Structure 1
Amino acid sequence: MDDVYVIGTACTAFGKFPNKSFKDLTREVYTALLADSGLDDGERIDSSWFGNVKMEMFKQPNIRGQVCFSELVAEGLFPQYVPMINVEGACATGSLAFHGAWKDVLSGTADVSLAIGVEKTFIPDDPKRQYELFTGGLDQMDPEVWHEYFRKAGEKIDRPFVLNGAGGTLNMDTYAMQAAYHMAKYGTTQRQFAIAASKTHYNGSLNPLAQYQFEVSVDKAMTDREISFPLTRSMCAPIGDGAAAAVLCSKRVFDTLPAAVRERAVKVRASSLANGKYRDIDEPGVSHVAARHAYAFAGIEPGDIDLAEVHDATTYGEIYQPEMLGFCEFGEGGRFAESGGSAIGGRTPINTSGGLISKGHPVGATGLSMVHEITAQLRGEAGPRQVKDADIGLAENAGGTMGFDDAICAITILKRA
């Protein structure tokens, strides 16, 4: 099986950009990607995968990538006739685009493939419509299925399922139910959630692309406005816009590239996907399954991972995902965070970028922003966030809601080349 290399990544700043269009964000990240990869233009690109979740709410329901790239094609910055596949997988969309580009190169159907994710979720003049952006990640054909699921789960864990409407989404309430159950079952404390949130906000303060570039103390994270107990505002990802991208190539092309490009490349060791289900709250989640597949494909163990970006739409992800990914035992996520194990300089640094709660979460771009951060770390280009001697990094990105599980989860493993 041939090697696949990431030769360039790019990410815009994440934030609230009402005056930037989808085309603006596409141009910004794509031209930055060309510069990072050393390509003068996109002439060598053979295939492309465009990730977006909710452009139909901005009056573009179809051919999203083709529309966003139309001006770039006309200007000769992107090659004519190269196929562009539009991808949607809720919050995992960016990783699905990456997976498609990886498989194109791995299979030999393309030598150079582009993955890009672009999203706008900030609608300043219509907050109600803004939150409707996130309802598509649930079964809207038979909503009574998940209503009944959460009602029964609430009875089982002695936490009635109530949509509190305190400025969050249904997802925040379901994360909170799981977090509260984790506290009851394993002795995890709200302060441990606050410690993880404070650590991740600190990392975001070091990231010039992060939506929130300020520190949050542990006490502030605990006493901030409650969204759904035990989760406060400081423990939840914000609304925002942004774009991220990566370009991948085959060994055949890699060997022809300038030494300066080859020296900064990283190798894709695995890209694994798994679908979730309506699981019992005590069952391991879909990320545990996807991670096991990825480790087997890469021929490594969890202990070989030097750093990880995990899907912390809330800080519960920073407690739960290290357990699912094998960085600590089940039930030990809170103590792992409290021990400093997930901090820069810890045993397995997590979310050096600032994670979703600080870096931001423009859903279609999120997975590729994780690839961008891992790549920067493996190149040794992360500045004050740099993890010493980083050699292998993992990104866990999930999307959609199937009860207490994600509808789909992507695990990407990259290695310094």
Structure 2
Amino acid sequence: MRDTYIIGTFSTAFEKMPGKSFKDLTREAYLGVLDDVGAEIADDIELAYFGNCGMGTFGQACIRGQVSFTSLVKEGLFPERVPIINVEGACATASLAFHGAWKDILSGQSELTLAIGVEKTFIPDNPDKIQEIFDGGIDQLDADEWRDYYKEAGDLAGKPFDPEKGEGTIFMDTYAMQATYHMKKYGTTQRQIAAASSKNHYHGSLNPKAQYRFEVSVDKVMEDRTISYPLTRSMCAPIGDGAAAAMICSAEYLSKLPPEVQARAVKIRASVLSGGKYRDLDEPGLSSVAAQKAYRQAGLTPDDIDIAEVHDATSFCEIYQCEMLGFCEEGKGGAYVESGATSLGGSRPVNLSGGLVSKGHPIGATGLSMIDELTQQLRGEAGARQADNPKIALAENGGGVMGFDEAACSIIILEANS
């Protein structure tokens, strides 16, 4: 398989930005990734993948990337006639953009590609529009299918499906049902979920681009307002805006770049996808399937992973994903996280960025923000939250829901360029 490398990444700060447009965020992420590369390469870009979920709600249903790059092309900052492929996969959108850009290099058709994810989910004067964006992540054509599924699953989990009682989106209710079933089956506790949240809020306090930059104790997490039991507000990702990007190239192209660029390059060991289904509650999730494919592609095992960024739309998700990724035994994720293993200084730090619950979760940008964090870590450039000399990193990013699966899941494995 052809060697491929990341030579630049960038993420905006994640926050509520009603004063910034999609074009503003696109410009910031694109110019940021060029600056991170540290070489004049813009004219060499052959293809771009543009990830977004919500622009249709703002009136731009089609040609989203082309519209967002219009002024950059006019100003000569982005090359003319370069094709832009628009990508959507709910919360996994940016990772799908990355996968497409990587495959284009892998195929030999391109030497340098761009992946970018841009999102705005905060609409202060129209909360119904916010809901419209999130509603797109679940089947709207046959809603009775998932309503019946969740009703049955809620009965099994001991948490009746009643979305009218929850304060968040329906997705928080689905995560809450999974958490209560895990608690019922394995003895996982609400306090262990709170420990995952508290840990990631600490990590986020060290991240200058995180939406929430404050610490929250385990007790305070437990005492926070309930969104959908056992999940409190501090355990749930916030709504926000942001953008992130990555520049990917072939080994041949990298060899022609300055030595300082080559030294900071990060190798892509694997990028795989899997698709969701309506599974049984006791059946492993699609991230387990994707992870096994990724380990095979990279020739690695879970024990080889030094750090990870996982999709903790709720803090229960980190517990669950540590199990699905093989970092601990199934059913032991709560104890694993509570032990400190996934904390900064632990045996395998997870979500050093602060994770979605602290860093933020602008859905179409999230996956590439994970790549930005892991790239900084593998370069040794993460500052106060820097892990101890990581060599192999993994990103897990899921999008949309199909029962208790995500509709799509991405696993990406990266290696430091030693």
What range is the shorter-chain TM-score in? over 0.9
Aligned pairs for 1:255-270 within 5 A:
255-270=255-270
Task: State whether residues 39 and 261 of structure 2, in contact with CA within 8 Å, keep that contact through their aligned partners in structure 1.
Answer: no
Tell me the matched-pair count.
417
Question: Could you tell me how far apart the structure 2 residues matched to 1:268 and 1:167 are?
Answer: 40
1:41 CA displacement: 5.3
- What is aligned with 1:178? 178
Q: Does 1:106 align with 2:134?
A: no
Aligned positions of 1:18-417 closer than 5 A: 18-40=18-40, 42-417=42-417
| Higher alpha-carbon deviation: 39-48 or 314-323 | 39-48
Which residue identity does 1:130 align to in structure 2?
A: I
Q: Match of 2:383, as an amino acid?
A: G
Structure 2 residue 4 is the aligned partner of structure 1 residue 15: no
Residues of 2 paired with 1:124 and 1:416: CA distance? 41
How much has 1:165 moved relative to structure 2? 4.6
TM-score (norm 2): 0.99
Shift of 1:348: 1.1
1:344 and 1:408 map into 2 onto residues whose CA distance is 29
For each residue in 1:138-177, what CA deviation from the matched residue of structure 2 results, as whole angstroms up to 9, or x when unmatched?
1111000001111111222232111045430000000000
Distance 1:207 1:258 in 2: 29
**Separation of aligned partners in 1, 2:13 and 2:157:** 40
Cα distance in 1 between the residues matched to 2:22 and 2:41: 20
Q: Distance in 2 between matches of 1:342 and 1:128?
A: 37
Amino acid at match of 1:94: A
CA distance in 2, matches of 1:319, 1:169: 21
**Offset at residue 323 of structure 1 (A):** 0.1
User: For 2:43, what is the secondary structure of its paired residue?
Assistant: coil
Matched AA of 1:207:
N
CA–CA separation in structure 1 for the residues paired with 2:33 and 2:197: 30
How far the C-alpha of 1:130 sits from its partner, in A, is 1.1
Higher mean C-alpha deviation, range 94-103 or range 339-348: 339-348
Contact 2:167 2:228 in 1 (8 A): no
Find the aligned partners of 1:313 and 1:54 in 2 and give their Cα distance.
18
Mapped partners of 2:136, 2:130: distance in 1:
12
Root-mean-square deviation (CA, aligned residues, Å) is 0.8
Describe the superposition over 1:267-296 as per-residue Cα deviations: whole angstroms up to 9, x where unpaired.
000000000100011110000000000000
Moved more, 384-393 or 35-44: 35-44
SS at 1:79 equivalent: coil
Query: 1:267 & 1:408 partners in 2: Cα distance?
Result: 24
**Which one-letter code corresponds to 2:76 in the other structure?**
G
- Aligned to 1:402, the other structure's residue is in SS state coil
Secondary structure of 1:270's counterpart equals strand
Where in structure 1 are there 5+ consecutive unaligned residues? none
C-alpha distance in 2, partners of 1:213/1:160?
Answer: 35
CA distance in 2, matches of 1:166, 1:151: 15
**Structure 1 consecutive aligned stretches of length 4 or more whose deviation exceeds 4 Å:** none
Give unmatched runs, 5+ long, in structure 2: none
Q: Equivalents in 2 of 1:129, 1:412: separation in Å?
A: 32
- Kept in 1, the 8 Å contact 2:156–2:181? The answer is no
Distance 1:165 1:43, change over 3 A: farther
- Cα deviation code 1:28-56 (max 9, x no counterpart): 11111111012335101011100000101
Q: Is the 8 A contact 1:41 1:77 kept in 2?
A: no
CA contact (8 A) 1:112 1:247 kept: yes
CA distance in 1 between counterparts of 2:327 and 2:156 reads 28
Work out the CA distance in 2 between the residues paired with 1:209 and 1:166.
29
Contact 1:307 1:393 (C-alpha < 8 Å) held by counterparts: yes
Q: Is the 8 A contact 2:57 2:132 kept in 1?
A: no
User: 2:157, 2:178 within 8 Å by CA — same for their partners in 1?
Assistant: no
| AA of the residue aligned to 1:214 | F
**1:132, CA displacement in angstroms?**
2.1
Structure 1 contact 164–228 (Cα < 8 Å) conserved: no
Distance 2:318 2:157 in 1: 21
* SS of 2:375 mapped into structure 1: helix
